[in-house]
Amino acid sequence: MNSSSKAEVTFTSDDGKEVGLTLHVTGISPEILKQGDKIQKIMDILELPPGTNARLLYQADDVIVR
């Protein structure tokens, strides 16, 4: 069985408006992105303003080959 996962992180400001940045991540465990400190580091690297929120969307595919 092969597994793959994709995650999309969309950043929004305090008032709910999108910051205009969406991050697409493939090839890593979605569990990593569920850790708040990891998302915080990404937001620091991207120099996003204080009060920015992150919304995570996950897609997982499992392929079974006989």
Domain ranges for the chain, please list them: 2-60
- Residue 59's pLDDT is 78
State the pTM of this model: 0.68
Contact 54, 10 (CB under 8 A): yes
Instruction: Give Cα 14 to chain centroid, integer Å.
Output: 18
Q: Is 48 helix (H, G, I), strand (E, B) or coil?
A: coil
- Residue 45's pLDDT is 92
Separation of alpha carbons 53 and 6, rounded Å: 20
CA angle 21, 14, 49 (to 5 degrees): 55
pLDDT in tens, 1-57: 455 678 888 888 877 677 778 888 887 777 788 888 988 998 999 898 888 989 888
- Residue 3's pLDDT is 58
